[in-house]
Amino acid sequence: MEDPDIKKLRKVLAYKGREDLADLLRHSVSILEESSTFGSRWYSRLSTFHIKSHPKVQEKLDSLSEKDKEEIFKALQLVYPLLDNEPEITNIIYYPDFDIETADLVETKELERISFEYIHDQIRKCNSKIAEKDFDGAVTNARTLIESICLFILESKTKEKQDYDGNLIKLYKSVASLLSMSPGDYTDENLKQILSGVFSIINGVSGLRNTYGDSHGTSPSKKGYKIDERHAILTVNLAKSITEYLFLSYEKSI
């Protein structure tokens, strides 16, 4: 369960257009330490807000600029506005917590070069929904991520707006053909097997989302079933890896 104060803080940061900072805090936990000293308002109590994060996340937080840290502090002031008889937060202390567990999600550094913001948005949503234990939603965004990169490649290569009918398999086949990524384009049996596996993964992601994703109603036979965490993490990681592979293949083709 996500820390309630961190959840509110992340929502404010996202609203202010700082999804990068919100994403950085997705596994963090907080402690509000109130002192007995009164602040600037009637019976307000001078307080310190502690943010504990995984050591790897802490390294990134330590490297933030003072401007970024000020953005987090200003967002926190909207979560805890200055009011009478309430905590008056004067500073934030960041430190690592080795007991915090994080999902082992694939990084997509190569995709940082892509200009299509919708793809970055889908990656953030995949990560956030895993953190929030919304595994159905994570699977839905994993499929949308693959759809987005495919449409981006097709429209960039053909210079034409695509009339997408929701058939992901057909969409991927068009991209694979355009980038010479079909198994039949290669003589090496190992590469053929890998590229056939990519097709199988996309087929599986599409089917899993259609059957259990959060974009459809639930049939009586499926009622009560929720996608397991390990399957959601696997689906998201595969979708991210394939998306990055498609983007690198697209870059090589131009």
Give the phi and the psi of residue 32 in degrees, each rounded to 5: -100, 115
Q: pLDDT at position 214, please?
A: 54
Q: What DSSP character marks residue 106?
A: P
Q: Which of 30-44, 102-116, 122-136 has the highest mean pLDDT?
A: 30-44
Question: For residue 125, what is the domain's CATH number?
Answer: 1.20.120
In the predicted model, what is the mean pLDDT of residues 77-98?
Answer: 96
Same domain, 92 and 30: yes
Which residues touch 182 (CB under 8 Å, ≥6 apart)? 173, 176, 195
Query: Is residue 102 a part of any domain in this protein?
Result: no
In contact, 6 and 30? CB cutoff 8 Å: yes
Query: Is residue 175 a part of any domain in this protein?
Result: yes
Same domain, 218 and 118: yes
In the predicted model, what is the mean pLDDT of residues 236-249?
Answer: 94
Query: Is residue 104 a part of any domain in this protein?
Result: no
Q: pLDDT at position 224, please?
A: 52
Look at residues 54, 70, 96 and tell me which one is the last residue of a structural domain: 96
Same domain, 45 and 153: no
Look at residues 62, 96, 130 and tell me which one is the last residue of a structural domain: 96
Q: What is the pTM of this model?
A: 0.68
> Residue 124 is part of which domain span?
109-253
Cα separations in angstroms, 223 against 92, 126, 156, 218: 44, 23, 41, 6
Residue 140 has pLDDT above 90, yes or no: yes
- Percent of the chain with pLDDT strictly greater than 70: 94
Number of domains the chain contains = 2
How is residue 114 written in tokens?
Answer: 């892509």
Look at residues 96, 118, 135 and tell me which one is the last residue of a structural domain: 96
State the Cα–Cα distance between residues 161 and 177, nearest whole angstrom: 18
In the predicted model, what is the mean pLDDT of residues 147-168?
Answer: 91
Catalogue the E-assigned strands of 79-163. Answer: 87-96
Query: Is residue 101 a part of any domain in this protein?
Result: no
Query: Is residue 194 a part of any domain in this protein?
Result: yes
Helices and strands (H, E) in the chain, number of each type: 9, 3
Same domain, 131 and 233: yes
Query: Is residue 196 a part of any domain in this protein?
Result: yes
Same domain, 239 and 114: yes
Residue 222 has pLDDT above 60, yes or no: no
Same domain, 225 and 123: yes
